[in-house]
């Protein structure tokens, strides 16, 4: 089974969402990507359709924007 991908930037909103996502779908079913630390993954997030973080990209390619922590433009700075 393909994993979901959870993108975040390390802010309190993002970290809270990360904990909830892990509780809901399990750590084995999600790849966690901290875009503030792993900036080379920003382009992949954009290609997937992520516009803001925190966001979860499902195995089907759907992007679920969760609350609003920061836009990807803010993360790039």
Express each pLDDT in 15-69 by its tens digit: 999 999 999 999 999 999 999 899 999 999 999 999 999 999 999 999 999 877 6
The token pair at 36 is 């503030």
| Dist. CA 31–CA 54, nearest whole Å | 13
The token pair at 37 is 């630390």
CA quadruple 72, 70, 23, 34: dihedral sign: positive
Q: What is the pLDDT of residue 56?
A: 97
The token pair at 6 is 């959870």
pTM: 0.89
DSSP run (H or E) holding 14: helix 12-25
């Amino acid at each position: 089974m393909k994993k979901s991908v959870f993108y975040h930037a390390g802010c309190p909103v993002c970290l809270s969402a990360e904990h909830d996502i892990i509780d809901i779908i399990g750590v084995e079913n999600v790849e966690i990507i901290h875009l503030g630390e792993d900036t080379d993954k920003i382009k992949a997030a954009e290609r997937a359709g992520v516009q803001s973080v925190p966001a979860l990209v499902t195995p089907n390619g759907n992007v679920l924007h969760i609350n609003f922590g920061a836009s990807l433009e803010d993360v790039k700075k």
